[in-house]
Amino acid sequence: MTNQYSITLLPGDGIGPEIMDVTVKVLEAVGKQCDIKFNFQTALIGGAAIDAKGVPLTPETVETCLKSDSVLLAAIGGYKWDNLPRELRPETGLLGIRAALELFANLRPATILPQLIDASSLKKEVVEGVDIMVVRELTGGIYFGQPKGIFTSETGEQRGVNTMAYTVSEIDRIARVAFETAQKRQKRLCSVDKANVLDVSQLWRDRLIKMSEEYPDVELTHMYVDNAAMQLVRNPKQFDTIVTGNLFGDILSDAAAMLTGSIGMLPSASLGANRPGLFEPVHGSAPDIAGQDKANPLAQVLSAAMMLRYGLNEPEAATKIEEAVLKVLDLGYRTGDIMSEGAKAVGCQEMGKVLLQVLEGN
């Protein structure tokens, strides 16, 4: 039986269309092999939407996304739109689609690819084999908590205030995503908090412990956020899956990503509650090299693999794509951003062709 999925493509701006183009071909090739049919529709977002429709996100794009099974985004933004008022900036379109899809769980892998290990600032023996998944809560915590603002006290002094808050239901739903993510990996989940000082962390920890009863196959541990920042530097191999709140996740997912030394290779996933997930590379739209066939499409291709694994539950097809990426690197093909001595320099399109050859040769 053929599984069918409706996928909304949001190529966006800059190098977005080029890398999306390669990714669609890769998805179609792997679909044929795994008996999966993708029905793609393309929609506008970011600068492309501003140019065509005057706003960075239209109701039509939102509707198209909501009706699909998954959304694959490339990148948005560019110099051209930098001086528009905030509500008309490309970034506002991205925030809008995230809100519309209620994407409360952000999955940020930090995987060391053996072929690119020299790019890391850490010693080879420290990062060899590192494969971390940070599950970050994305719609709660201190970035959204009320009250917030700059207030003036009775004495006339200004006081800046933000509120870090989580409810039980907010914690439980991110915990569920984290336990299920760990189940697809090495089944070790490290919850990062500051429960020795923060009440909100104490509730977070209590709920994680409670939820772990439903996932007896996953080993749950706890770590304070300052120690986690140290341990990522000291011995990142100790981690499998990490779950944490919005602010701590913002900091730790970026620190973990930087361990790899090649941010341009990293995909990400954002998952909602009973809504399509959104999958996108960590890198930006790189307007300086747009349209020159210089872009590295691999993070976008790996985002499609995350879509298959975490959005569509097609792990076999996901693995095929991930293995093809590794094989292409093994064969020595490199775009400019990851070029090293003795490797074969290729452009975006040729990288795509080699990927297809490898996939079809499998």
- Annotated binding-site residue numbers: 78-91, 98, 108, 136, 226, 250, 254, 284-296
- Residue 261 contacts which entry, Mg ion, a second copy, none (Cβ below 5-8 A, type-dependent): a second copy
**Catalytic one of 5, 13, 166, 194:** 194
Residue that has been written with the tokens 């336990």 in this structure: 179
- Residue 354 contacts which entry, a second copy, Mg ion, none (Cβ below 5-8 A, type-dependent): none
| Minimal distance, residue 105 CB to Mg ion, in Å | 15
Structure tokens given for 145: 């908590």
> How far, in whole angstroms, is CA 308 from its chain's centroid?
13
51 noted as active-site residue: no
Is the Cβ of residue 250 or residue 322 nearer to Mg ion in the bound state?
250
250 noted as active-site residue: yes
**Catalytic one of 51, 199, 226, 330:** 226
Q: Alpha-carbon distance 105 to 139, whole Å?
A: 8
CB–CB of 8/338 below 8 Å?
Answer: no
- Residue 202 contacts which entry, Mg ion, a second copy, none (Cβ below 5-8 A, type-dependent): a second copy
- Annotated binding-site residue numbers for Mg(2+): 226, 250, 254
CB–CB of 23/7 below 8 Å?
Answer: no
| Minimal distance, residue 267 CB to Mg ion, in Å | 15
> In the range 252-291, which residues lie near Mg ion by CB under 5 A?
254
| Minimal distance, residue 159 CB to a second copy, in Å | 5
188-193 β-sheet, strand order: 36-42, 3-12, 70-75, 277-281, 267-272, 103-111, 131-137, 241-244, 188-193, 219-224
3-state secondary structure labels for all residues of 73-116 = EEECCCHHHCCCCHHHCHHHHHHHHHHHCCEEEEEEEEECCHHH
| Minimal distance, residue 228 CB to Mg ion, in Å | 10
206 noted as active-site residue: no
Structure tokens given for 324: 């093809």
Is the Cβ of residue 2 or residue 123 nearer to a second copy in the bound state?
123
310 noted as active-site residue: no
Is the Cβ of residue 39 or residue 235 nearer to a second copy in the bound state?
235
Helix (H, G, I), strand (E, B) or coil at 295: coil
CB–CB of 137/105 below 8 Å?
Answer: yes
Is the Cβ of residue 233 or residue 345 nearer to a second copy in the bound state?
233
Please tell me what DSSP assigns to residue 39: E
Is the Cβ of residue 226 or residue 360 nearer to Mg ion in the bound state?
226
Is the Cβ of residue 38 or residue 239 nearer to Mg ion in the bound state?
239
Helix (H, G, I), strand (E, B) or coil at 214: helix
- Residue 217 contacts which entry, a second copy, Mg ion, none (Cβ below 5-8 A, type-dependent): none
- Residue 85 contacts which entry, a second copy, Mg ion, none (Cβ below 5-8 A, type-dependent): none
**Catalytic one of 13, 193, 240, 250:** 250
Residue 359: other Cβ atoms inside 10 A: 21
| Minimal distance, residue 262 CB to a second copy, in Å | 11
**Catalytic one of 143, 184, 187, 237:** 143
226: contact with Mg ion by CB under 5 A: yes
- Residue 41 contacts which entry, Mg ion, a second copy, none (Cβ below 5-8 A, type-dependent): none
State the DSSP string of 268-327: EEEEESSS-EEEEESS---GGGTTTT----HHHHHHHHHIIIIIS--HHHHHHHHHHHHH
Binding site residues, a second copy, CB under 8 A = 121-123, 126, 142-143, 145, 148-150, 153, 157-169, 194, 197-204, 225-227, 229-230, 232-235, 247, 250-255, 257-259, 261
30: left (phi over 0), alpha (psi -120 to 50) or beta: alpha
194 noted as active-site residue: yes
| Minimal distance, residue 207 CB to a second copy, in Å | 9
CA distances from 333 to 236, 294, 339, 352 (A): 28, 13, 8, 11
Residues lying near Mg ion in the complex (CB under 5 A) are found at: 226, 250, 254
> Catalytic amino acids?
143, 194, 226, 250, 254
